[in-house]
Amino acid sequence: MKIGILKESHKGERRVALSPLITQKLVDKGFEIFVEEGAGENSMYKDSDYVNAGASTATREKIFENAQVLVKINPFDENDLSLVQKRHILMSQLYHKSSPDLIKAISEKGATAFSMDAMPRISRAQDMDVLSSQNNLSGYKAVILGAYEMTKIFPLMMTAAGTITPSRVLIFGVGVAGLQAIATAKRLGAVVEATDIRTETKEQAESLGAKFISVDNEGEESEGGYAKEASEDYKKRQKEAVEESLFKADLVITTANVPGRKAPLLITEEQVKQMKNGAVIVDLAAAQGGNCEVSKLNETVVVNGVKVIGTKISPESVSTNASELYAKNMYNFITHLTEDLNFKWDLEEEITDETLIVQDGVQRKN
């Protein structure tokens, strides 16, 4: 089986889908690997690293000509689709629920496509879950970004000139990104509070040293391991419960996303105006519309002295580590789907069934 590693073309993207180490492991299993020239350069991987791992480098056009399986991180774009053929099997994050035009275009090509972001939240799939591996890094980077933008330090510090009180950090959403944000902020010495619609996250947040702000959420269960869209009644009660902490916070990090839908609004413009002068909000959901009403993607907005940073942040900003983790997810996924270098096409198996979005031009998932 021939696998092609494509260079990411998405603006600002620095990651690559397979690292030289994982390339070597696939080559050792008998896979033939082709790497687009320069694909790993922004993750500090040279073309020679891939060649030494047993791969061949080639132009983008040659990759499409030679490879059966094409792997990326971001969705395939128009330039990619112009080269896609019926025999190709595409693997990337497709975001199929919110990208119907892309799925239709792949179907019209007669190709097959797996979506890495559709991985089911089950124990057997944990080592293939790219959302978890990448969001973990996002939570870490959100705290580092917030610390850089703040005019205060995180820890308690006692000096001859007086005592500096620790900063207060509030985190909305205790998923993978939120948990890593809690852990990072605590390590830096902040007082951390957190809230989430899912009551099962309370113990996890508290185990990392955060105070959990509880909101009665009767009827607000999670779906498949993800938070679901909250009711208007819950949103009202959550707003009331967290306002005291919000208005005291020096740094607020919002991480709440609902797959395939606009991000829930958690912080209104009115609330932003009542926050402390100099406070910072890092909105990780800005690409999906934002958890903060005034957020703008890839922009910093200042409202009444509060700095609001809208970002989808940035596993790509730590591209070496992010690529390593994504590559391990991809390796586990490829080896799960194949046997003796051929796809098993076991559609009764949950991981295959959930991630196979298009098969031979036929759309399987909406």
Catalytic status, residue 319: no
Catalytic-role residue among 43, 93, 115, 132: 132
Enumerate residues 6+ apart whose C-beta is below 8 A from 82. none
**DSSP β-ladder status, 299-303 and 112-115:** unpaired
Catalytic-role residue among 47, 226, 237, 353: 226
Catalytic-role residue among 121, 187, 237, 364: 121
- Nearest partner of 119 among 324, 330, 289, 322, judged by Cα: 330
Catalytic-role residue among 129, 196, 250, 283: 129
Structure tokens given for 81 = 């689709």
Cα radius of gyration (the chain) = 22
Catalytic status, residue 121: yes
Catalytic status, residue 9: no
Catalytic-role residue among 9, 126, 207, 214: 126
SS in 3 state form for 158-218? EECCEEECCCEEEEECCCHHHHHHHHHHHHCCCEEEEECCCHHHHHHHHHCCCEECCCCCC
DSSP per-residue string spanning 83-117:
T--TT-EEEE---GGG-HHHHHHHHHHT-EEEEGG
Half-sphere exposure of 235 (CA within 13 A, CB side): 13
Long-range contact list for 182-187, CB < 8 A, 24+ apart? 182/139, 182/208, 182/209, 182/210, 183/139, 183/208, 184/139, 184/140, 184/143, 184/144, 185/143, 185/154, 185/251, 186/210
Most distant CA pair in the chain, distance: 72
Q: At what angle do helices 319-337 and 130-149 cross, to 10 degrees?
A: 170
Catalytic status, residue 226: yes
State the residue for tokens 């620790």: 166
Catalytic status, residue 234: no
The catalytic site residues sit at 121, 126, 129, 132, 226
